Amino acid sequence: MKLISASPSPFARKVRVLLHETGQSDAVEVVDVMTTATNTNPEVAAANPAGKVPALVREDGPTVYDSRVICRFLDAKYAAGLYPESRIFDTLTLEATADAMMDAALLMVYEHRVRPPEKVFDGWVDAQWGKVARCVEAVNGRWMSHLNGPLDMSHIAMGCALGYLDFRLPDRNWREGAGALDDWFAVFSARESMTATAPV
């Protein structure tokens, strides 16, 4: 199998962290590409018609894309147990929360990277940050018992989301008022799977 990836992408990082955590990094070839929302890499477009990474190219079936679909596929393939049935909806909801944070942060980055400076809509940027801030507040207030429990896919997704905020939006300071989440991330981000997949 071949993973079409981009080092800065938090969605692609989710998959790479899963592979590290399950000891399957050598089972999937990671192909790092350069692609943007306005200039899609042809290899990415061929793998995923939406032109997004990650995409998992299989030899025995159609390409699998969308990070949540890929993660479910690999979790099932390797019997990793990262989507535990006993708390499946908590895991899926927290993973969705992390993905929403990544989506909003990515839109903030694109607003400045793709638009000419005179066309940047600050109100749009602030609205996206509002989504991130509400998610951080909710996780810090309601989800810490889950994050402090056994590892599942929601931990990986949240770690990648917070890592992306630090990587692309360090001046926004998501940590303010989120001490419990900050403490959790300090420990989680030191995992070998996280340091090995840090964006560059």
Convert the pLDDT of each residue in 45-60 to its tens digit: 999 999 999 999 999 9
- CATH topology for 85-196 is Glutathione S-transferase Yfyf (Class Pi); Chain A, domain 2 (1.20.1050)
On the question of pLDDT at 140 being above 90, the answer is yes
What average pLDDT does the chain have?
97
Max CA-CA distance within the chain? 51
* Homologous superfamily, domain 2-77: Glutaredoxin (3.40.30.10)
Residues of the chain with CATH 1.20.1050.10: 85-196
Q: Compute the distance between CA of residue 16 and CA of residue 181 in angstroms, rounded to an integer.
A: 22
pLDDT tier at 37 (50, 70, 90 boundaries)?
confident
pLDDT of amino acid 74? 98
Residues of the chain with CATH 3.40.30.10: 2-77
Within the chain, strands assigned E span 2-5, 29-32, 55-57, 64-65
Q: Compute the distance between CA of residue 55 and CA of residue 15 in angstroms, rounded to an integer.
A: 10
Please name which of 68, 73, 74 lies closest in space to residue 52, comparing C-alpha atoms: 68
For residue 62, the number of C-alpha atoms closer than 13 Å in the C-beta half-sphere is: 5
Q: Compute the distance between CA of residue 151 and CA of residue 156 in angstroms, rounded to an integer.
A: 8
pTM over 0.85: yes
